[in-house]
Chains A and B, each alone.
Chain A
Amino acid sequence: MVKTTYLREKRDTNENMYSAHNRALIELARKNKKIVSCYADFPPGEVAEVFQNEFPDRIIDVGIAEGHLITSAAGLADAGLIPFTHCHALFALGRGYNQIRQNVAYDNRNVKIVLCNSGVIWGGIGPSHLAIEDLAALRAIPNLVILSPSDAVSTEKATFAAADYVGPVILRLPSVGATYPTLYKNDLEFKIGKAICLRDGKDITLMATGILVKDALEVSEALEKKGIRARVLDIHTIKPLDEKAILAAAKETGAIVTVEDANILGGLGGAIAELTSERYPVPIRRVGVKDQFGESGTSEEIKECYGLTPAMIKKAVHHARKAKRGRR
């Protein structure tokens, strides 16, 4: 099976994706005097010490005021700076929706909104903090680029890409406290809007985003032993979607399973179903949060409870392939 050369041979390194983002942000800030890092009483991690020592004016905390965080970042951009805002995904979205829409997206401000602790797998501090609808809601706002990296390396690259891009960017990250297996080598080429084909295959395509790309990869590897060749795409850009890669996969493999730690309504699954149903309909099954709120618990418990496990991906593959055979 053809694999991308970007993949590591072994997945034995676990890294924190927020730290990877912070490393990139520090590197960026040292090179580019316009970078400002903003928080709404959210932990800045590694950024705090470096920024306080080297560029104390460029770290801003506005207190527990996420709406103000987003709008004031648009003001900073107006003053010629490149702000990265950091807060809980749910509060950037829930307390800052109108602000993202009006001050950032509509006015096309060069603001980078980092959604921290997104999805349900984090478990963390319960349903009030677990964002399931961020992809669905933000995807419907024009002008936004939405990035959802899958490991530390792609997070670092996504942060650089967000800074390079002139205009509003959403960067979706999982738990800021957990570590996740690193999938990619450091030479990964990360381009906004260009999906990464991790493994090629002709029988079905697994289209995954965020931390569940790893699970999709594992499923593809396990299926290979059974003679099923599952292509795996890392859809790290939710918007703009890589229509070319997705439609090619639909044509060449005839069935799709989407995998995400977000509500399947309007999320990655929704986006791919919309695209393929109009342009090249094939059987599709969506693995993700099935229109439920999150829960407190350990990540393993939650993955099990919400059906976000390799076993459930396999099951979805089985159903999608069955539907594909039924169409012949």
Chain B
Amino acid sequence: MDKEKLIQELQAKAVRLRRETLLIMKEMGSGWLGGSFSSADFIAALFFYRMKHDPRNACWSERDRLIISKGHSCEVIYAALAESGYIPREELKTYSHLGSRLQTHVDCRTPGIDCSGGSLGLGLSFAVGSAMGAYILPEKKNLSSSPRKQKARFRVYCVLGDGECNEGQVWEAAANAFHYKLDNLTAIVDSNKFQSTGAVRMKMDMISLAEKFKAFGWETREMDGNNMKEVVDTLDWVLTVEGKPQAVVAHTIKGKGFPSLENTNCHFVKITDDLLKKGLEAFVG
């Protein structure tokens, strides 16, 4: 497909995801708006461009995995799952209701979710295990050989928060991914600069996450995570890397798309009638 057309289509998808995300949040009366909106663009690109998956066969063993390690940004994921056809659109109305498959953090009970989230710092480890599994050959050396004899059965994408990178286990996983040369693993850090109770830099200054991943041996790129062209280019680049895991630090805007909320700590916000009205006017698609 023509790249420009692709980008336009993905941009339209991202608008649609933001609209649906808002409608999902309305069900609870509040939601993880900031992180859902900051990540909406690359989530759209992963679901509708990059990932090899089959919404009609959610448990397909060879599917690419998507691990939402920042498990709170779940509403945009539910919107993407419905848009792809994993779950019926009507089901979005059950979000956070008792007995629903759509819990208030991503949850394995939802088709298309590979790892339950909510406890931060775990997802990258899960992704490492999954990526290793994609290289393991039962009776031959493959995972443990260099260069490898056989390609990985699937790729694994892991979405982390920048605040989440405070957690120590992220770096256990990062070291291990390099050690096993997991080039079928891509970590995308949604660097929206805010965490639960304040600015990331003020909570625990991680200086440069890109430099950190580089120091851990990862092929690393930074991108404007709200610019679809950069997102697509970067997601094309990850496929070209051999022998190393890839880290993408996506510089994003928390609450992207809502001028009144952008770059504020809109981590978990009440969905007022006014906010809903403004949102539905802004995100038409």
Contact = CB atoms under 8 A, between A and B. Distances in A.
B108 A57 contact: no
Contacts of A81: 133, 136
Contact of B133 (A55, A76, A99): A76
B143 A99 contact: no
Interface string B225-267: 0000000000000000000000000000000000000000000
A102 B169 CA distance: 14
A132 B71 CA distance: 33
B158 to A, nearest CB: 10
B125 A71 contact: yes
Contacts of A103: 115-116, 122, 125-126
A198 B131 CA distance: 46
A218 to B, nearest CB: 44
Chain A CB within 10 A, most for which of B61, B65, B129: B129
A60 B169 contact: no
Contacts of A76: 129-130, 132-133, 136
A75 interface: yes
Given A71-B122, A103-B115, A36 B169 contact: no
A75 B126 contact: yes
B171 to A, nearest CB: 9
Interface residues of A, number: 33
Which among A36, A71, A108 has the highest number of chain B CB atoms within 10 Å?
A: A71
A239 B143 CA distance: 36
A72 B132 contact: yes
B144 A80 contact: no
B119 A98 contact: yes
Nearest to A32: B138
Nearest to B154: A79
A54 interface: yes
A36 B132 CA distance: 11
A55 B137 CA distance: 8
Given A56-B141, A102-B118, A68 B125 contact: yes
